[in-house]
Amino acid sequence: MPFARRTPKEPMDLPPVTAASGGPEMRIEGRRLSTLGMRWLRVTCACGHEGRVAVPELADRHGGDTRVRQVAEKLQCSQCGQARVRRIALSD
Ligand SMILES: [Zn+2]
């Protein structure tokens, strides 16, 4: 039963979240990729390296129902080679 855990109320059209407006603890970790639209995820690694990944590209690779936090667990830093995401923000 892959879809057993379903969130009853999931806002589909939230305003864009930016690092400036939301701070480090933005609540996008539980969002599905398909709800984020044509944006970028700005990912900061524990080593300090920051990169941007296109949301549609992630949705293609992992599926639109995948949540941001699940993607974060799989992202690998191009600088230190580890999966140690410290922070994720949405950017346009
Ligand atoms: Zn790193």
Quote the DSSP letter at residue 42.
E
**40-88 confidence digits (pLDDT tens):** 999 999 999 999 999 999 999 999 999 999 999 999 999 999 999 999 9
- Predicted confidence band of residue 37 (pLDDT cuts 50, 70, 90): very high
Q: What is the pLDDT of residue 27?
A: 73
Q: Position 52: which residue type?
A: R
Determine the distance separating the centroid of ligand 1 and the alpha carbon of 9, expressed in angstroms: 34
Q: What is the pTM of this model?
A: 0.67
Residue 48 CA, ligand 1 centroid: distance in Å: 6
How many whole angstroms from 65 Cα to the centroid of ligand 1? 26
Q: How far is Cα 77 from Cα 66, in angstroms, rounded to an integer?
A: 20
Higher model confidence: residue 25 or residue 4?
4
Residue with tokens 């140690």: 84
User: How many A from CA of 72 to the centre of ligand 1?
Assistant: 13
Return the closest-CA partner of residue 46 out of 79, 7, 3.
Answer: 79
Ligand 1 centroid to Cα of residue 83, in Å, is 7
Q: Which pLDDT does position 41 carry in this prediction?
A: 95
